[in-house]
Amino acid sequence: MLFHQRPGAGGGFRPPAATGVATNRGNVFSFNAPWYGSEAGKKLPAPVAAIAADGAGYLLVTRAGHVYAFHTKSHGSVTRKLPSAVTGLAVDPVTGGYWITTSTGHVYNFNAPWYGSEAGKKLPAPVVAIVADGPGYLLVTAAGHVYAFHTTGYGSVTGKPSAAVIGGVAG
């Protein structure tokens, strides 16, 4: 899992983007970005599923929906039994809240607007990522399908992908 954060738009010099990587055991490695901590060496209730940055720090979410915040505010975790494992986390650039998605397309919102989900629908492949896009978000499946919510969809992988999509990156 990784996050990739581009510097703000504008002319002139642009420093390299900040990147962070998290392992399923809660280790966090940062590249050209501040390191604020990790859950490495701690007993987690479930493996880490995703990492996302919000400009101040970063968040980790486990496959069970527990959220860990580093140098930023947590707006909560999923406290009910999930229909499937968590696969993605995205930060709303407007509110600073976040969205969590599961492999079956459920979307849970925390201090961020809820625009819909693919819950209860027959999906061609599991959802592997949620990506903030403008005012809304995109759900991405392992087969490359993209579902847009309150934003413009840019299309999907056509034909049969040579390998499964395993995540998404916003930038």
Q: Are 116 and 100 in contact (CB under 8 A)?
A: no
Q: Which residue has the higher pLDDT, 25 or 8?
A: 25
Is pLDDT above 60 for 163?
no
pTM of the prediction? 0.83
* pLDDT score, position 171: 42
Nearest residue to 52 via CA among 18, 14, 83, 91: 91
Q: Is 106 contained in some domain?
A: yes
DSSP assigned state of 143: T
Supply the range of the domain harboring residue 53.
2-124
Strand order in the sheet with 136-141: 127-133, 136-141, 146-149
Number of domains in the chain: 1
Give the mean model confidence (pLDDT) for residues 10-37: 75
Q: Is residue 98 part of a domain?
A: yes
Task: Please indicate, yes or no, if residue 147 is contained in any of the structural domains.
Answer: no
pLDDT tens digit string along 78-87?
Answer: 999 999 999 9
pLDDT of residue 9: 44
Q: What is the pLDDT of residue 72?
A: 93
pLDDT of residue 145: 86
Q: What is the DSSP letter of 15?
A: P
What angle is formed at CA 15 by the lines to CA 10 and CA 18, rounded to 5 degrees?
A: 110
| Residue 90: alpha-carbon gap to chain centroid | 4
